[in-house]
Amino acid sequence: QLHNHHAFYLVARKLITESRHDEALPLLDQALNLRPGSEHARLFRLMIYLRQGKAAAATDDLAILVEPWNDASKRALALCLGSTLATPLLVEVISRNPASSYRIGRQVLDSGRPALVEEVALALRQAFPDQRFNIEGLRGRVYVKRGLLEPARRISAALMSEPDTELAGWELEGTIL
């Protein structure tokens, strides 16, 4: 009988290599019950949920994995960026944590998904209409690349008007020029 989180994780990992995902999930759940901070178990569970088309079930795992930012965060984000089903999941998780939205947004933009950056920035605007976030600067860069300079200028001006986002506004302004 297994009582160690690592044992549950190792058995689950073996099952995953055999494509026995349904059998691996309860073992990963057990591993996480015994050690909630197990990034590896969480990553594998995220991967299974995405492969099974259950992106909504992976929301909490992704939210936990992206904070604090580390190698596991990057792997989790890469898994999600590789799945078109994960777009709503990414939008929800990133917009839950506005403070990390710029850092994650940069990774998303670098992966070639500018529309996702725009979607996240707009979700943040909707959720927090009275606040500005640095990810809006990335949204402005997306607009500049599309040749939409006027909306980019409006974003730049709005960012420059707030002390917390002033630098992002000036960076965007430099991109516009």
For residue 30, name the pLDDT band (cuts at 50, 70, 90).
very high
Provide the pLDDT for residue 85.
84
Report which secondary-structure segment, H or E, holds 33. Answer: helix 21-34
Flag whether pLDDT at 1 surpasses 60.
no
Q: Which of 91, 155, 149 is nearest to 120 (CA)?
A: 91
pLDDT tens, position by position, 143-175: 999 999 999 999 999 999 999 899 999 999 999
Flag whether pLDDT at 48 surpasses 70.
yes
Flag whether pLDDT at 91 surpasses 80.
yes
pTM assigned to the model: 0.82
Q: How far apart are CA 28 and CA 163, in angstroms?
A: 44
For the chain, the first-to-last Cα distance in angstroms comes to: 65
Provide the pLDDT for residue 127.
87
Flag whether pLDDT at 2 surpasses 80.
no
pLDDT tens, position by position, 115-132: 999 998 998 888 888 888
